[in-house]
Each structure stands twice: as C-alpha cells, then as structure tokens.
Amino acid sequence: MATPTYVVLLGKQGAGKGTQGELLCARHGLVHLSTGDILRAAVRAGSDLGREVSRVLEAGELVSDDLVNRLVEERLGAPDAAAGAVFDGYPRTRGQAEALDRILAPGGVGLCVLVELPDELVVARLSGRRVCEGCGTIYTLTDPSAESGVCERCGGRVVQRADDTPEAIGARLAAYERDTRPLIDFYDARGLLVAVDGDRSVEEVSASIEAALVARGLA
C-alpha cells in the first residue's frame, strides 16, 4: 500500500488556497480537509464528537484545539482519506501543528506550500469576491451568478461576506501575520516549506505546487 501524502496549504485569505487544494486533491485522490468543513460534517453526522461541537457552538464558545484535533484525527481515519489529505485552514496554531505531527506519526506532513500574495492584491480580490450562502461556491464580480445573485450550482443566494470589506480585510491581514508566522517558521525549520507566487494564473500556481511535490517524491 502506498504511503499517504499529506500537504499543508498556508497563505492569506484570497490567495487561492481553496482552489489549489481542490485541484491537488482531484489530481492525487486526496481529501480536502478544512476546519470549517470538518465541524459542519461532524454536526450533520450527529456523532459523539459532532454533538460535542454542537454544544460548544450553541453556547457561542470557540471550539478548542483539543476538539479540533480529535475531529481531524477522526476524519483522517475515513476510507476516502487513505491516500492522504490537503490541509487548508488547519493547523491554525503551532500547537495544532504539533498535534498533527502526533496524529500522522510515524510519517507526517510531506510538504507545506505557502501561497504568497501582496496585501494590496488580497484587498482587491476579497473586496470583489461573492459567495453562495448555500454551498459556499466563490464567484468574482464578473461571474453571471454574482451579477444575478443566484448560485449556478445550488440556486442559493450569492452575497458579499460581511468580512470582505476593506476594513475587515485589513484586520484579517494583521491577524494572519500574527497567527501564521509561527506556522511558517515551524515548517520552514523542518525543511518542508515551499513558497509559490500566487499572483499568477491558477494553472501556473498549480504547476509550481506539482513541481514541488515531484521534487520531494510525493507525486
């Protein structure tokens, strides 16, 4: 049986991590694992962990690192995750990164990709972004669904997120620098970090990520 491949994606919101994660998963049969998706799936499934998450969310509290880590470990045990996973939005802290090392032992993360994008382009991308409230599909202002306000995939309402205003984006960029720098240093110190230029076409960024996987014998 082939060794599972585990890739962590880092980058500012709007850098294109979600798109690249989906492409990477499609090419290599990996699962796209984000904290939000795992939380929602656990609640829908009604598992013991899901009910625990529901209680925390209903109380208006933050989901603890311990609970998130347990959800990740449970998700990685599913049959469709046998080939590996792309982590997008997890880990968020050094503590979560260390927990992920323990979860994936004796192997571990094979590559951490940092998708770089200047702040001014992040503001431009996010302020022009529209999102379906139903399925989460992301559109740009020129997409027909953004213009009509109706998602072409599920028929849901397409809106601008409240945190996609320039002021909110600025606050998120500051939080990104504060919270993500330790993760960048964590993976860089282990020789796992590769930075790619996110200010290019989707295809060009994807090719750079694929080249990094090949260079490490992961593809």
pLDDT 10s per residue in the chain (219 long)? 578 999 999 999 889 998 999 999 999 999 999 888 888 888 888 888 889 989 988 888 888 999 999 999 999 999 999 999 999 989 988 999 999 999 999 989 999 999 999 999 999 888 899 999 999 898 999 999 999 999 999 999 999 988 888 888 888 899 888 988 899 999 999 999 999 999 999 999 999 999 999 999 998
- Look at residue 190 in the predicted model and tell me its pLDDT: 95
- Look at residue 125 in the predicted model and tell me its pLDDT: 87
Catalytic residues: 17, 92, 129, 161, 172
What token pair was written down for 58? Answer: 């209903």
* Counts for the chain of helices (H) and strands (E), in that order: 9, 8
Instruction: Specify the pairing of strand 5-11 against strand 31-33.
Output: unpaired
d(CA 100, CA 112): 13
Question: How far are the Cα atoms of 93, 162, 194, 198, 216 from residue 99, in angstroms, in the given order?
Answer: 10, 32, 21, 28, 23
Beta bridge partners of 196: 115
Backbone phi and psi for residue 132, each to the nearest 5 degrees, phi listed first: -75, 130
What CATH architecture applies to the domain 5-215? 3-Layer(aba) Sandwich (3.40)
- Look at residue 113 in the predicted model and tell me its pLDDT: 98
* pTM (two decimals): 0.84
- Look at residue 1 in the predicted model and tell me its pLDDT: 55
- Look at residue 14 in the predicted model and tell me its pLDDT: 86
Spell out the residues 6+ positions from residue 214 whose beta carbon is closer than 8 angstroms to its own: none
- Look at residue 33 in the predicted model and tell me its pLDDT: 93
- Look at residue 136 in the predicted model and tell me its pLDDT: 87
Q: Where are the domains of the chain?
A: 5-215
